[in-house]
Amino acid sequence: MSFEDWKNATRKEGILAERAISFVYNRALNRDAPFSVIDGGAHAGHHTFQLSALPNCERVIAVEADPHTYARFEKLVRDRPDANRITAVQAAIQGRHDQKEVTFLSSDSHPGRSGIKEASFWTDDASVSFRPEITVPATTLDKLAEMAGLTTDFIKLDLEGGEYGAVLGGSEVMRNHRPLIVFENGIDSLKKIGKTPHDLFDMMTSRGYRILGFNGQELQPATLYTFWYAWMVPDEKFDAVQPHVKAAIPA
């Protein structure tokens, strides 16, 4: 299957993208030492529960900001036999360590499109309706990694436009833990907050990271939007991770 054919199939069956993500972390994160992961935008726990089953994954910090989605998710966690390895957090991941709360838009028509108001690109989509604005607790990737108390090896960011801000607040975990990161790569996300692909790449370069597309090719600012997800990979892990990303798309 070509990458274009796979993208077209994924537009009809979104679970194919989630399977590709699972394929990569199941191969890239099997290791001998205990580690933790952060699931940003946990939603119903699709990745949270798979990550908690990985060998030596001792802590999943599962973060969901939407209070309506979080209530359902937190109950699912409580009822699981591996609940002791999962810490559910109701908060929005953003970039400022001194920020205590943010304005949030909870969608009643498409719960998976809820997000921080200032970063949400769904407000221009008439098919998506939102409840009245609310405030939710704010946190950062650095604070979540500290909460885990273990090396953070993997971060998933599905934040409906909030990904740049989330990464901005993860300088320490990226510098000290060197996690592999998969992030939602919406074409309007950076534009919404007044940033450009060059801003993102400058931040990644300064932290010793490169951006890898789901097509298995290293991306540049001009080619950033090859798919609605992409990978942030530490320089020293790039050659090891790239073959897994290429293999995640069926031939």
pLDDT digits (tens, 9 = 90+) for 87-145: 999 999 999 999 999 999 999 999 999 999 999 989 888 999 999 999 999 999 999 99
For the entire predicted model, the pTM comes to: 0.96
CATH number, residue 235: 3.40.50.150
pLDDT at 167 over 80: yes
pLDDT digits (tens, 9 = 90+) for 210-248: 999 999 999 999 999 999 999 999 999 999 999 999 999
pLDDT digits (tens, 9 = 90+) for 7-44: 999 999 999 999 999 999 999 987 789 999 999 999 99
User: What is residue 250's predicted lDDT score, i.e. its pLDDT?
Assistant: 83
Number of domains in the chain: 1
User: What is residue 68's predicted lDDT score, i.e. its pLDDT?
Assistant: 96
DSSP code at position 117: G
| C-alpha–C-alpha distance, residues 161 and 199, integer Å | 15
Mean per-residue pLDDT for 196-219? 97
Using an 8 Å Cβ cutoff, are 83 and 62 in contact?
A: no
User: What is residue 134's predicted lDDT score, i.e. its pLDDT?
Assistant: 97
User: What is residue 188's predicted lDDT score, i.e. its pLDDT?
Assistant: 87
What would you report as the CA-atom Rg of the chain, rounded to the nearest whole angstrom? Answer: 17
Mean per-residue pLDDT for 78-91? 96
User: What is residue 32's predicted lDDT score, i.e. its pLDDT?
Assistant: 83
| Torsional class of 215: left (φ above 0), alpha (ψ -120 to 50), beta (otherwise) | alpha
Nearest in space to 23 (alpha carbons), one of 235, 231, 237, 238:
231
Instruction: Please give the mean pLDDT across all residues of the chain.
Output: 95
Mean per-residue pLDDT for 43-66? 96
User: What is residue 30's predicted lDDT score, i.e. its pLDDT?
Assistant: 72
| C-alpha–C-alpha distance, residues 72 and 55, integer Å | 27
Domain that holds residue 31: 3-247
If DSSP codes are grouped into helix, strand and coil, which group holds residue 31?
coil
